[in-house]
Amino acid sequence: MDIWSLALNNLISIPILCFVLGFVATRIKADLRIPESAMRFLTFFLLLAIGLKGGVSLRKTEITEMAWPIVATVALGITLPIFVFITLRVMTRLERIDRGAIAAHYGSTSLVTFTAALVFLEAADVFVEDYVVTLLAIMEIPGIIVGLMLASRSGNQRARHVFANMREVLTSPSIVLLVGGVTIGALAGPARFVSVEPFFADLFTGVLSFFLLQMGITVATRIGAFADAGPGLAIFAVVFPFVAGTIGVLAGAAAGLGTGGATMLGVLSASASYIAAPAAVRLALPTANEGLAITCSLAMTFPLNMIAGIPFIAYIARLVAT
């Protein structure tokens, strides 16, 4: 299957069409939105479901099999925000603190992009290593910390920010539910997971569709503010997923991951956070333009990954594998 077929199959999937529906409905002024409390439940469901399924699968995985992929993930989590920070210095006139805030967002990961990629690969019948959810949790942390360090000038400020944000990131709902879900799933094992599988597995794609419906609404309300940042930032937000995704695929293949696993590491590299990173940036960099970073990651890079980034990265992983 070529890249255009992959892109078309992804575009007409139900979760992606729900994202488009939310975007279009908001642009035509339809009163369509999901209550905040319901969105919180949907987020918690997706995090816990991914963690549980990953933990159950970990029971079948040898620790030696995970070693090099973990090393590759940590290396990407450190180098990608540095790459973003330097690139933005060349392409934009943003202040250091704003470049660091954006680097923290792009060094971290997007749960929903990761989830959509899993659904995409499952529909394409591509095998994905059982422990990729562990890589998601691992990459979440160093990217944020490195971005915040780059934004700070003084060594004392950096140390204080690292300490404060290590706690902020490690105790965030995304990390707690992912790591907790993996732990519970690993302890319970496949036999005990069967009793909750109809809820956490069979309903997963439906819940993701509702979540992406709201994401489409959110993107539609924020996309107008992005024009004020200048063309350099817009070009970066469009090009980054393809460059970082390719780097992630190559790193995954070098670490011994198959086509599915390399695709997922590429997707993690290409995505940008809009849940964990904004909370950490708000704490450590109160004077940064928070709206600029979240709009860049959510209104530009996120929909681009949903529509074109995921199939492109899967195509590159398939080329590398052959």
Q: What is the 3-state secondary structure (H, E, C) of 28-76?
A: CCCCCCCCHHHHHHHHHHHHHHHHHHHHHHHCCCCHHHHHHHHHHHHHH
Q: What is the CATH number of the domain that holds 129?
A: 1.20.1530.20
Residue 158: burial class (beta carbons within 10 Å; 0-12, 13-18, 19+): middle
Which helix (H) or strand (E) segment is 188 a member of?
Answer: helix 173-193
User: Among 62-66, 109-113, 190-194, 286-290, which is the least confidently predicted range?
Assistant: 286-290
- pLDDT value of residue 178: 78
Task: Report the domain count for the chain.
Answer: 1
Give the amino acid at 76.
Answer: L
d(CA 159, CA 318): 42
- pLDDT value of residue 158: 52
- pLDDT value of residue 283: 67
Model pLDDT for residues 94-148, shown as the tens digit of each residue: 889 899 989 999 998 888 899 889 989 988 889 999 888 888 878 877 888 888 8
Query: Over 60: is that where the pLDDT of 154 sits?
Result: no
Q: Residue 184's pLDDT band (boundaries 50, 70, 90)?
A: very high
- pLDDT value of residue 249: 97
d(CA 313, CA 55): 25
Query: Over 90: is that where the pLDDT of 189 sits?
Result: no
| Range with the largest mean pLDDT of 51-55, 124-128, 218-222, 309-313 | 309-313
Domain carrying residue 193: 3-27+34-321
